[in-house]
Chain A
């Protein structure tokens, strides 16, 4: 099926530093999403993005978070500065359209450990 690629797969970072998580979505998809999953817990929506703009963000999407997709390249999630509670697996997803039946395709996740 369609593949979403995420880089890096793992990253360990000192608290307070900046981290950028990269996502290469499915090539003809137009809508992009980030989800957060703390170990053993459910998938939680962070943000979605379309046409260069954030469409919706949850209360988990703190002021230290930002997303962008410059010039159709990677869709990125930046956290600056990082905090201990940001340790989680971050999943990127993309979809072709957001009409009824919108199906999201997920990457394999970026495991972030903040120490």
Chain B
């Protein structure tokens, strides 16, 4: 079945550091890829998504590029802020075409802590 692997379980940075969270996926077909962010006590919120090879998604200074060749969708931000502290999930959707039902498959999540 489909799967998403996030390499980093926890990342600790200082403000203005560069962030990379690695995400690799395994899926049949051509999934849509997502990054969600979850703050304490809340549900996951969409950060952005990408549907095609080489497409770049971005929001609030975060970005990731869909790479079908390396099956990756790594999250990056040039300069993090304390307010970025949260859990970040990479996810994929089977797109819901044909026999697929459109559910999201999540990675394990990466806890980001940014210190002032």
Contacts and interface: CB of A to CB of B under 8 A. Distances in A.
Interface of A: 1, 4, 31, 33, 41-45, 48, 55-56, 91, 93, 95, 97-109
The range of chain B's interface size is 20 to 34
6 contacts: A42-B89, A95-B102, A97-B96, A100-B96, A101-B49, A108-B41
Interface string B72-92: 000000000000000001000
A98 B108 contact: no
A9 B100 CA distance: 31
B43 A42 contact: no
A97 B32 CA distance: 13
A100 B34 contact: no
A67 B100 CA distance: 20
A99 B96 contact: yes
B107 A104 contact: no
A-B pairs, top 4 by smallest CB distance, nearest first, are: A98-B96, A98-B102, A106-B43, A100-B95
Interface of B: 30, 32, 34, 41-46, 49, 51, 89, 93, 95-97, 100-109
B95 A99 contact: yes
B105 A45 contact: yes
B16 to A, nearest CB: 28
Nearest to A2: B46
Contact of B30 (A95, A100, A109): A100
B95 A42 contact: no
A43 B102 contact: no
A55 B101 contact: yes
A105 B44 CA distance: 8
Given A97-B96, A108-B43, 5 more contacts: A56-B101, A91-B43, A98-B97, A103-B46, A106-B44
Contacts of B97: 98-100
Contacts of B107: 42
